[in-house]
Chain A
């Protein structure tokens, strides 16, 4: 009985894999949009902020982070090189957690590491599962494999 129920739900819900990946990608792209734009608008301020946190080569890292985030917005929306862009974005999230959020605990209300952790998990899902069928990756790389 349970076996039948499990197989039944599996057969139906499996069809939604690509849709769930698409929606998650769009949400994460939207989430990176504001931080990316605000970094580009005030890149010198970001560089000195990075410097005060003890991040080495603050100017270089400010540009790298801002570029990764902006590239992430575009590539995650298109689903292009999804697995590749997920890795540096995960690094950005880990660094953000360690340098800014960890000291504030978990809860998002307290600027804790809740939200960057969720992003890290989404990106880990994208890296390991790919972008799904509704993506440029699927048209370019996956069609015959």
Chain B
């Protein structure tokens, strides 16, 4: 039972770092979405044509939606504001990116496979289920009451 006590003590200690880990994940994801978001806004028409060639319906509307979700993701993930709400459309974007672009290239990043979008999807799923942690506007605005 010593092992069990040790592991429980360790858990109590490590639990203190939960909000830190969630903050780091949010910051890195926001950084990761920054470039794709900016590229889509800068080359809006090219992105529409690209989406169209991928067989995505309502290409111009889908481009507007994707670019908006991504740029909102950058802002909201950084602030930790409406974190759970923004992760859902971002997960959807990752899913569609995997299905339309990356899946046929296999897993590995070196081959433009679905490795990175999968990791992003998993990070977003972790944020959706665990929230933004204490270092967030969500905690200031919504967290204190409950």
Contacts and interface: CB of A to CB of B under 8 A. Distances in A.
Interface string A1-21: 001011101100111110111
B25 A108 contact: no
Contact of B130 (A20, A127, A140): A20
A14 to B, nearest CB: 6
Contacts of B11: 83, 130, 141-142
B70 interface: no
Interface string A114-135: 1101100110110111100000
B142 A20 contact: no
A128 B21 contact: yes
Interface string B1-22: 0001001101100111110111
B40 interface: no
Nearest to B19: A128
Given A83-B10, A127-B14, A141-B8, A9 B85 contact: yes
Q: How large is the interface on B (under 10, 10 to 19, 20 to 34, 35 or more residues)?
A: 35 or more
Contacts of A52: none
B4 A24 contact: no
Size class of the A contact interface (CB-based, 8 Å): 35 or more
B84 A9 contact: yes
B122 A24 contact: yes
A64 interface: no
B116 interface: yes
B119 interface: yes
A6 B138 contact: yes
Interface of A: 3, 5-7, 9-10, 13-17, 19-21, 23-24, 27, 81, 83-84, 108-109, 114-115, 117-118, 121-122, 124-125, 127-130, 137, 140-142, 145
For the complex of A and B, the 7 pairs showing the least CB-CB separation, nearest first, are A128-B17, A16-B129, A20-B125, A124-B21, A17-B129, A108-B109, A128-B18
20 contacts: A6-B82, A7-B142, A9-B84, A10-B131, A14-B131, A20-B126, A20-B129, A21-B126, A108-B115, A117-B28, A118-B123, A121-B25, A122-B122, A124-B21, A125-B22, A127-B21, A128-B15, A141-B7, A141-B8, A142-B11
